[in-house]
Amino acid sequence: MHVRPVIAAVGLLAGSLVALAGTPAQAASTVLYVSPSGTDSAAGTQSAPTTLTAAISRIAAGGTIYLRGGTYAYSSTVTIPAGSNGTSGALTTLSAYPGETPVLDFSAQSESSSNRGVQLFANYWHLYGLTVEHAGDNGIYVGGSNNVVERVVTAYNRDTGLQLGRISSSTSSSAWPSNNLVVSSESHDNEDSGGENADGFASKLTTGTGNVFRYDVSHNNIDDGWDLYTKTDTGAIGPVTIEYSLSYGNGTLTDGTQNANGDRNGYKLGGDAIAVNHVVQHDIAYDNGHHGFTYNSNPGTMTISNNVSIDNTERNFSFDKGTSVFRTDTSCRFAVDGSNDKTVGDADSSNQFWTGTNGSRCSSYSGSLGWSFASSGKLNVTFGGTVVNP
């Protein structure tokens, strides 16, 4: 009787080998095309595009789903489920068709914590070139690990535009999302009706180690640009890296709307007086409604280096406690009077903090702000038309 399971296992193995050899029936597809007019049962070819949800269920590990341009109107969350993983050598890709702009519009959702736009719960996926708008909660929520989110725009969602966090309350801390990269992406005009939760980007509450934001832009969100809040009841999050990024105008939407409930920081780097050693480098904070960079009670040893903070309403750099290491940071004021910087920790003479006057480096940052992504994906920030990447 011990033989039967062995026979069954051999049968399964043989079946999967046949599928890999190209048998069409039941085989997952390596390339699928999706369009706003696609149907679930369509083949997913360029001439017979399918739907996004059907493609997610049919794509092979390491395959590519192309989203044609246009507006996709959704009323339900689109989930890439846990277990539908790519591999470390071949990420499964969900990409805009080259040169086109797919917009996933969740306007039909009501504002509710259960109404996220896109949930990425799998590992080893690459999202590229999508815009996700008007979701009833987060635009994109990443609960999986080892994913790349690139050239994405999250806007007008009713909680944080792009947030990382655990899949569910039963997810153990060892399975919190880790090693995700969010790169060359923009998050703006996210606003919850309470005016206190919607940040541009957040890796907060329940996130693991190795998550990185690079070349990203967060602006005009109702709460913070970035939020790395951590709480006693769930335990410390893993250290996050935010680098070569820009955070501006948070606390005021593009249309001028403000809400007194908003925290309005450029980069909010802590919570509940828990030490987490984040790395924050080569970033710019400009014209945010409260602090530019704030420790927000994080007493740890953060790396705070090569950042520039300009004309934020309260402090450009606000670190009241801790042992963070500050190197080559620059703080300037031109149009907005605020409070002196406070940088408790290891701050040497390479910094030019603001305590009433501008340092020599500020002359590079006196013009009007502009930014764009280079074809390489690198973020170029300009002041007065001149690239001044710190």
CB of 100 to Ca ion, least distance (A): 30
Distant-in-sequence, close-in-space partners of 259: CB < 8 Å, separation ≥ 6: 191, 194, 195, 196, 222
For Ca ion, the closer of residues 263 and 311 by Cβ is 263
Binder of Ca ion out of 223, 283, 329, 341 (CB under 5 A): 223
Write the DSSP string, 126-144: EEES-EEE--SS-SEEE-S
Helix or strand run (H / E) with residue 4: helix 3-20
Which residues in the 308-347 window bind Ca ion by CB under 5 A? none
Just list the catalytic residues: 268
Binder of Ca ion out of 191, 224, 287, 329 (CB under 5 A): 224
For Ca ion, the closer of residues 104 and 135 by Cβ is 135
Under a CB-based contact definition with an 8 Å cutoff, are residues 255 and 249 in contact?
Answer: no
CB of 195 to Ca ion, least distance (A): 9
- Rounded CA gap, 299 and 277, in Å? 9
Site string for Ca ion, 145-184 (x = CB under 5 A): --------------x-------------------------
CB of 138 to Ca ion, least distance (A): 6
- Rounded CA gap, 182 and 201, in Å? 9
Taking alpha carbons only, the member of 81, 180, 91, 187 closest to residue 131 is 187
Binder of Ca ion out of 38, 92, 130, 137 (CB under 5 A): 137
Tell me the window of 89-97, 199-207, 277-285, 333-341 that interacts with Ca ion (CB under 5 A).
199-207
CB of 101 to Ca ion, least distance (A): 26
Distant-in-sequence, close-in-space partners of 168: CB < 8 Å, separation ≥ 6: none
For Ca ion, the closer of residues 77 and 85 by Cβ is 77
**Total binding residues for Ca ion by CB under 5 A?**
9
CB of 221 to Ca ion, least distance (A): 9
Tell me the window of 79-87, 121-129, 215-223, 339-347 that interacts with Ca ion (CB under 5 A).
215-223
For Ca ion, the closer of residues 159 and 216 by Cβ is 159
Residue 113 is a binding residue for Ca ion (CB under 5 A)? yes
Strands across the sheet with 267-268, in order?
A: 78-80, 118-120, 140-142, 162-164, 201-203, 226-227, 267-268, 293-294, 317-319, 342-343
- Which residues face 113 on adjacent strands? none
- Rounded CA gap, 315 and 266, in Å? 11
Residue 192 is a binding residue for Ca ion (CB under 5 A)? no
Distant-in-sequence, close-in-space partners of 109: CB < 8 Å, separation ≥ 6: 74, 75, 76, 115, 117, 134, 135, 136, 137
Q: Which residues of the chain form contacts with Ca ion (CB under 5 A)?
A: 113, 137, 159, 196, 199, 223-224, 227, 263
